[in-house]
């Protein structure tokens, strides 16, 4: 039976899922984490590799003569040297569109946290705030209704369109900015230039892929066009945002807040300016990580490998 090595399984499966069904069609060895200096040792003799964030570069590929398949356990596949893999005839696959609902859900979790401050109020009640109140109701922060507000979405792919759908359900106006022109948009959604979207939106959600051209495009100049009451949400990729520029804008009150699930380096360096910026809420890249999305990812990874073994590979990249 051919050999599969999973190099960094922990984030996908911290223990609530099972790899056992892979045993039906391959000999699987699972590692929670693999440092770079152990990749070659652990992959020796492997026919297939699964990786999430462990880098499979040209040097690694050249020293694994049996390797014929690399499955990336994510949508982004920049951890693999595609050119080196192609030169060896190695198939590389990814996992597209497995977390659309989960990411959209976290976008709105951040939005609700910003506009309603549910946790702050709950903790205040737990400390006796309501018991000692002379009024039947009180609020520690402004309570803002989403209806009538404008949601700006940068990147109108599967996740962007799901966010738009939810925003419309809240009676919000939706603006989108996208590389290509979108035809037949639903009522309530308008495609506009990027600068107009930033200027007119009450919430800007970043959901575009990272490219060489758009790295750091959310910079001081673009942020300065936003409303002072606006919220920036990024569940796309950290490097899309110029972090020092965003931290400066938050600390100066240029915008009201930022909600981020991704940073330029993950885990972040201790001196990342956003960690201590005002009105900045950061979650540790969890938008993709619901149980349902991780289970879906694992099943797609299995289907990808089965299809390759049958000689009909799917979700091939590069």
Cite the active site residues: 237, 266, 285
28 membership: H or E segment, kind and range: strand 27-30
Q: Which residues pair with 280 in a beta bridge?
A: 258
DSSP 77-126: -TTB-HHHHHHHT-EEE---SSSHHHHHHHHHHHHHHHHH-HHHHHHHHH
Tokens of 218: 């959310």
The residue among 259, 221, 239 whose CA lies nearest residue 106 is 259
Q: Which residues pair with 109 in a beta bridge?
A: none
Confirm if 308 and 69 have CB atoms less than 8 A apart: yes
Confirm if 296 and 273 have CB atoms less than 8 A apart: no
Note the maximum CA span of the chain: 75
């Amino acid at each position: 039976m051919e050999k599969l090595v999973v190099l960094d399984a922990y984030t996908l499966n911290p223990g609530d899922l099972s790899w056992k069904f892979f045993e039906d069609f391959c000999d699987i060895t699972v590692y929670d984490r693999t440092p770079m200096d152990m990749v070659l040792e652990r992959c020796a003799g492997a026919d297939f590799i699964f990786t999430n964030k462990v880098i499979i570069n040209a040097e690694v590929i050249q020293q694994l003569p049996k390797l014929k398949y690399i499955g990336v356990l994510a949508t982004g596949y920049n951890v693999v040297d595609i050119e080196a893999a192609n030169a060896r005839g190695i198939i590389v696959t990814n996992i597209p569109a497995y977390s659309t609902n989960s990411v959209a859900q976290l976008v709105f979790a951040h939005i609700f946290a910003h506009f309603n401050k549910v946790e702050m109020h709950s903790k205040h009640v737990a400390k006796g705030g309501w018991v000692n109140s002379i009024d039947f109701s009180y609020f520690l922060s402004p309570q803002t209704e989403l209806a009538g507000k404008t949601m700006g979405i940068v990147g109108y792919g599967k996740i962007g369109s799901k966010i738009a759908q939810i925003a419309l359900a809240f009676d919000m106006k939706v603006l989108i900015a996208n590389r290509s022109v979108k035809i037949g948009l639903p009522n309530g959604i308008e495609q506009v230039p990027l600068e107009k979207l930033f200027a007119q939106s009450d919430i800007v959600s970043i959901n575009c892929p990272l490219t060489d051209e758009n790295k750091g495009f959310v910079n001081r100049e673009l942020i300065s066009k936003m409303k002072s009451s606006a919220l920036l949400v990024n569940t796309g990729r950290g490097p899309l945002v110029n972090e020092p520029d965003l931290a400066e804008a938050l600390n100066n009150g240029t915008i009201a807040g930022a909600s981020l699930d991704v940073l330029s380096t993950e885990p972040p360096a201790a001196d990342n300016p956003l960690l201590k910026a005002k009105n900045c809420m950061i979650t540790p890249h969890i938008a993709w990580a619901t149980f349902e999305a991780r289970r879906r990812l694992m099943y797609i990874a299995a289907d990808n490998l089965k299809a390759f073994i049958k000689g009909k590979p799917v979700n091939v990249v590069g």
